Amino acid sequence: MRVVVGGGTGFVGTALTQLLRSRGHEVTHVSRRAGKDRISWEQLSQSGLPQCDAVVNLAGENVLNPFRRWGDAFCREVIRSRVETTKTLAKAIADAEQPPHAWVVVTGVGYYRPSPTAEYTEDSPGGDFDFFSRLVSSWEAAALIPGSPTRGVVVRSGVVLGQGGGAISQMIWPFRLGLGGPVGSGLQPFPWIHIRDLAGIVCHALETEGLRGVFNGVSPSSPATSNGTFARELAAALGRPALLPMPAWAVRAIFGAERAVMLLEGQKVVPKHTLESGYSFVFPDLPGALKDIVS
Choose, by CB under 6 A, the member of 3, 4, 12, 251 that binds ligand NDP. Answer: 12
Q: Which residue's CB comes closest to ligand NDP?
A: 10
Decide if residue 115 touches ligand NDP (CB under 6 A).
no
Decide if residue 76 touches ligand NDP (CB under 6 A).
no
Choose, by CB under 6 A, the member of 1, 48, 53, 61 that binds ligand NDP. Answer: 61
Residue whose C-alpha is closest to residue 106's, from 199, 169, 220? 199
* Residue with smaller CB distance to ligand NDP, 35 or 243: 35
* Residue with smaller CB distance to ligand NDP, 9 or 178: 9
Decide if residue 62 touches ligand NDP (CB under 6 A).
yes
* Residue with smaller CB distance to ligand NDP, 47 or 169: 169
291 CB-near residues (< 8 Å, 6+ apart): 237
Decide if residue 82 touches ligand NDP (CB under 6 A).
yes
Distances (CA, A) of 57 to 81, 128, 238, 246, 251: 11, 22, 33, 33, 30
CA–CA separation, 156 and 135 (whole Å): 12
Contact 162, 11 (CB under 8 A): yes
CA–CA separation, 189 and 218 (whole Å): 12
* Contacts to ligand NDP by CB under 6 A: 7, 9-13, 31-32, 58-62, 77, 81-82, 85, 106, 108, 157, 159-160, 166-167
